[in-house]
Structure 1
Amino acid sequence: MLPVFLVTFPFFALIAAGYGAARARVLPLDAIPGLNTFVLYFALPCMLLRFGAGTPIGQLLDGSVALVWGLSALAVVAGVVVFTRNERIGWNDGAFGALVAAFPNTGFMGVPLLVALLGAQAAGPMIITIAFDLVVTSSLCIALSRLDGVGGGAAHHGPRQAARQALRGVLVNPMPWSILLGVLLSAARWRLPGPVERTIAMLADAASPVALFTIGAVLARSALLAREHGASAAVAAAMGTKSAVPPEAPLADVLPVVAVKLLVHPMLVWALGQGAIALGLPLSSSALMVIVLVAALPSASNVSMLAERFGADNGRIARIILWTTVATFFSFPFAVGVLR
Structure 2
Amino acid sequence: MLPVFLVTFPFFALIAAGYGAARARILPLDAIPGLNSFVLYFALPCMLLRFGAGTPIGQLLDGSVALVWGLSALAVVGGVVAFTRNARIGWNDAAFGALVAAFPNTGFMGVPLLVAILGAQAAGPMIITIAFDLVVTSSLCIALSRLDGASGSGAHHGPRQAARQALRGILVNPMPWSILLGVLLSAARWTLPGPVERTVAMLADAASPVALFTIGAVLARSALVAREHGASAAVA
State if a TM-score over 0.5 links the two structures: yes
Deviation at 1:13, TM superposition (A): 1.6
Counterpart contact for 1:148–1:155, Cα < 8 Å: no
CA distance in 2, matches of 1:149, 1:230: 34
- Larger helix proportion, structure 1 or 2? 2
- Structure 1 residues 88, 234: closer, same or farther in 2, change over 3 A? farther
Deviation at 1:154, TM superposition (A): 3.9
Counterpart contact for 1:45–1:175, Cα < 8 Å: yes
- Structure 1 residues 150, 160: closer, same or farther in 2, change over 3 A? closer
Deviation at 1:187, TM superposition (A): 0.5
Counterpart contact for 2:142–2:166, Cα < 8 Å: yes
- Structure 1 residues 132, 28: closer, same or farther in 2, change over 3 A? same
**SS of equivalent residue, structure 1 residue 135:** helix
Deviation at 1:166, TM superposition (A): 1.8
State the Cα deviation string for residues 90-138 of structure 1 (Å, max 9, x = none).
Answer: 2222111111111111111011101100111110010000000011101
Counterpart contact for 2:95–2:142, Cα < 8 Å: yes
Q: Runs of 5+ in structure 2 lacking a partner?
A: none
**SS of equivalent residue, structure 2 residue 109:** helix
State the Cα deviation string for residues 170-223 of structure 1 (Å, max 9, x = none).
Answer: 101111000000000000000111111111111111111001111111222233
**Residue in 1 aligned with 2:121?**
121
Deviation at 1:149, TM superposition (A): 2.6
CA distance in 2, matches of 1:223, 1:156: 42
Deviation at 1:234, TM superposition (A): 5.3
- Structure 1 residues 193, 10: closer, same or farther in 2, change over 3 A? same
CA distance in 1, matches of 2:130, 2:122: 13
Higher mean alpha-carbon deviation, 158-167 vs 103-112, is at: 158-167
**SS of equivalent residue, structure 1 residue 153:** helix
Counterpart contact for 1:52–1:123, Cα < 8 Å: yes
Corresponding position: 1:40 with 2:61: no
Counterpart contact for 1:22–1:29, Cα < 8 Å: yes
**Residue in 2 aligned with 1:49?**
49
State the Cα deviation string for residues 156-175 of structure 1 (Å, max 9, x = none).
Answer: 32232122112111101111
Deviation at 1:142, TM superposition (A): 1.2
Deviation at 1:2, TM superposition (A): 2.6
Deviation at 1:228, TM superposition (A): 3.7
- Structure 1 residues 79, 35: closer, same or farther in 2, change over 3 A? same
Q: Please provide the CA RMSD for this pair.
A: 1.7
Identity within the alignment, %:
94
Counterpart contact for 1:80–1:98, Cα < 8 Å: yes
**TM-score calculated relative to the size of structure 1:** 0.66
Counterpart contact for 2:150–2:157, Cα < 8 Å: no
**SS of equivalent residue, structure 2 residue 156:** helix
Aligned residues: 235
Counterpart contact for 2:150–2:159, Cα < 8 Å: no
- Structure 1 residues 54, 28: closer, same or farther in 2, change over 3 A? same
